[in-house]
């Protein structure tokens, strides 16, 4: 009897002038032992040789396109329109998958769930199991998460948030009791800190964060978060 085919994982990469790092990231995908991965690349109109690199990789990509966009999360939303997998992973153009990604992929058993693991960041394993309060306060590394594709039939990234739309989307997912957050102790990617999220604060998200925590996590977690802010401000005045 033949074995059932492994569920497909769609990896979406958003690029812009990423010629120096993109091939290494793609090669880390090609090297995976997991047998059913497709790669979708959405480029923002690169001018540095990225398009030539993508052309060289066309036979290994399920889809790619280069055109102007309205930011990283707009491009991610576009990428979701071109996937065919049951699971979705978002990878930075300067990140690389580790071998344990394929081991993690074999754990994807629960339809509709959000699975998360760990990444290597600045030489350290981050972040481990994340409790409800930490989910609210800091969230999970985007590159540590594999989503059920069905989640994106209901939710998309809010492009008003230039840096933290993934954080905000995960808040909404947490509130949705039909979406289980499942942790597995693997290190699935090397996370590079030179991406857009290193460029500063998402001011709109920062101004809305406390309200978003209250809306998505409830009064108890919100009060704990506000008490923490109060203590930090009190220390700052000393």
Confidence at 237, pLDDT banded by 50, 70, 90: low
Integer Cα distance of 106 and 38 in angstroms: 16
> What pLDDT score does 235 carry?
75
Peptide bond into 133 cis (omega under 30): no
Query: Would you list the domain boundaries of the chain?
Result: 9-236
What does the pLDDT look like over 96-121, one tens digit per residue? 999 999 999 999 999 999 999 999 99
Distance of CA 12 to CAs 2, 76, 90, 230, Å?
30, 7, 5, 39
Query: Whole-model pTM?
Result: 0.94
Contact 121, 198 (CB under 8 A): no
Q: What percent of the chain has pLDDT over 90?
A: 88
* pLDDT of 3 strictly over 70: no
Task: Encode pLDDT of 57-93 as tens digits.
Answer: 999 999 999 999 999 999 999 999 999 999 999 999 9
Task: Look over the chain and give the mean of its residue pLDDT values, rounded to a whole number.
Answer: 94
| DSSP string over 40-98 | EEEE----SSHHHHHHHTGGG-SEEEE---SSHHHHHHHHHTT---SEEEEEETT-EE-
9-236: which CATH topology? Spore Coat Polysaccharide Biosynthesis Protein SpsA; Chain A (3.90.550)
pLDDT band at 46 (very low <50, low <70, confident <90, very high): very high
- CA 9 – CA 40 distance, rounded (Å): 11
Give the DSSP H/E element, type plus range, for residue 38.
Answer: strand 37-43
What sign does the CA torsion over 180, 181, 185, 189 have?
Answer: positive
Q: Which residues pair with 42 in a beta bridge?
A: 14, 65
């Amino acid at each position: 009897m033949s074995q059932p085919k492994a569920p497909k994982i769609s990896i979406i990469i958003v690029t812009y002038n990423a010629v120096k790092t993109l091939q290494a990231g793609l090669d880390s995908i090609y090297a995976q032992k997991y047998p059913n991965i497709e790669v979708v690349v959405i480029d923002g109109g690169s001018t540095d040789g990225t398009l030539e690199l993508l052309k060289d990789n066309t036979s290994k990509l399920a889809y790619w396109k280069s055109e102007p966009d309205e930011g990283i999360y707009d491009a991610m939303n576009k990428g979701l329109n071109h996937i065919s997998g049951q699971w979705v992973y978002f990878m930075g153009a300067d990140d690389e998958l580790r071998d344990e990604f394929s081991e993690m992929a074999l754990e994807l058993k629960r339809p509709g769930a959000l699975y998360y693991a760990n990444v290597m960041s600045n030489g350290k394993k981050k972040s481990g199991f994340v409790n409800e309060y930490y989910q609210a306060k800091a969230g999970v590394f985007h590159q540590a998460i594999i989503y059920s594709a069905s989640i994106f039939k209901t939710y998309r990234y809010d492009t008003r948030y230039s840096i933290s739309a993934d954080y905000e989307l995960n808040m909404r997912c947490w509130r949705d009791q039909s979406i289980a957050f499942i942790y597995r102790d693997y290190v699935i990617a090397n996370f590079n800190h030179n991406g857009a999220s290193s460029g500063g604060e998402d001011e709109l998200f920062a101004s809305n964060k406390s309200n978003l925590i209250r809306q998505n996590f409830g009064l108890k977690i919100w009060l704990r978060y506000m008490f923490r802010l109060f203590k930090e401000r009190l220390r700052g005045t000393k």
